[in-house]
Amino acid sequence: MSLGLPEILVITALILIFLGPKRMPEVLRSLGRAWAEILRAKEGMMAPLQEELDKAARSVRLADIDDSAQALKKEFTDGDT
């Protein structure tokens, strides 16, 4: 969801009407800090999940390589007899 210019102007006008020009910078600063904190928390939650996904992907690739190696070994040993 993205906000366009008309939506931003309406929100700004409503904040200006309800809070006044003196409190508006304070409120917007608080909103910015809250948004930054939300983004930091999101990154903190996603990092361990990404690590686990990377580990799982590596183990799947290693299992595939191991299966391929076993198949090749079997093919070459069956051809020798």
Q: What local confidence, expressed as pLDDT, does residue 55 receive?
A: 84
- Expressed as residue numbers, the domain containing 24 is 5-80
Task: Give residue 59's pLDDT.
Answer: 79
- As a whole number, the mean pLDDT across the chain is 83
Q: Tell me the backbone φ, ψ of residue 4, rounded to 5 degrees.
A: -90, 180
pTM over 0.75: no
| 35 vs 15 pLDDT, higher one | 35
Checking if the pLDDT of 81 tops 70, the result is no
Sign of CA dihedral 60, 65, 66, 67: positive
d(CA 5, CA 15): 15
Specify the number of domains making up the chain.
1
**DSSP line for 40-52:** HHHHHHHHHHHHH
